[in-house]
Amino acid sequence: MTQVIPGAEVSTNTLLQIAASLEQSSEHPLARAIVDSAKGKNLPVLPAENFVSTTGGGISGTVSRRKVLVGKERFIEEAGTKIALELQANARTVVWIATEGKANGILGIADPIKETTPGAIEALHGLEWK
């Protein structure tokens, strides 16, 4: 998790908590990053209901009796939410969060380079391709 950028009506911790609460039901690698970030800040992950995953778009469900959407900007827009936030992120992946039909903020997520990556790349360069 590189950035948590809330809208005007929600705090950074609340935005992350809402997203993590819904993402706990997802098997996507980005979901793990969101849930791990919330747990790392000791934010309680709340129960989620009516979880639905849309391949290539995002997820939806209910957290604390509020309809929540987490996913790509287009997924949020197609669900009928007006994107009213003027936010920018420098992360490689941007995840949008909306509750009750209103965009609340974005999460920026990047996959850091692992310590083993340079060695793996060097080994690949040394392979003979046939």
Domains of the chain, first to last:
3-126 (3.40.1110.10)
Q: Are 15 and 6 in contact (CB under 8 A)?
A: yes
**pLDDT tens-digit map of 65-122:** 999 999 998 888 888 766 544 344 344 677 888 888 888 888 877 766 677 767 766 7
In whole numbers, what is the pLDDT of the chain averaged over residues?
82
Distances (CA, A) of 34 to 50, 97, 123: 19, 12, 32
Give which of 57, 90, 59, 89 is closest to 73, Cα–Cα: 57
- Give the C-alpha separation, 53 to 44, whole Å: 22
Q: Which helix (H) or strand (E) holds 5?
A: strand 3-6
